[in-house]
Amino acid sequence: DGGITQSPKYLFRKEGQNVTLSCEQNLNHDAMYWYRQDPGQGLRLIYYSQIVNDFQKGDIAEGYSVSREKKESFPLTVTSAQKNPTAFYLCASSIVAGYLYEQYFGPGTRLTVT
């Protein structure tokens, strides 16, 4: 079955540590996205990538970094510079051809930093 895999589902880290969240898709989609979700805030875009080896900052990129070395993989690193990293992180993907494209979301990773 095609879809998006995020691992792990729950992640705990100590303050000051960098942590990398995994996102893999087998939908053959060109575009991939990372969103952060906080209670009552909706989804906020962190980074997105429309092609391998290229990515753009979203609205809240500070304290985060990404890489896109393979079409199917788009890992997100939450660095120690991110002041409030505890959140639910969602990865998504979509095609880039045409205009009627929907985003497919992974199951999410809940990160807790203490």
Residue 35, token pair as written in the block: 């969103």
Least gap, CB of 45 to other proteins (angstroms): 6
Q: How far apart are CA 73 and CA 1, in angstroms?
A: 17
For residues 110 and 44, give the distance between their C-alpha atoms in angstroms, rounded to a whole number. Answer: 15
**Interface with other proteins (CB under 8 A), residue from 7, 26, 81, 101:** 101
Stretch that binds other proteins, among 16-24, 61-69, 73-81, 95-103 (CB under 8 A): 95-103
Tokens standing for residue 77: 């690193």
Tell me if 2 contacts other proteins by CB under 8 A: no
| One-letter amino acid of 17 | Q
Q: Which residues bind other proteins (CB under 8 A)?
A: 4, 31, 33, 35, 40-45, 48, 50, 56, 58-59, 90, 94, 96, 99-108
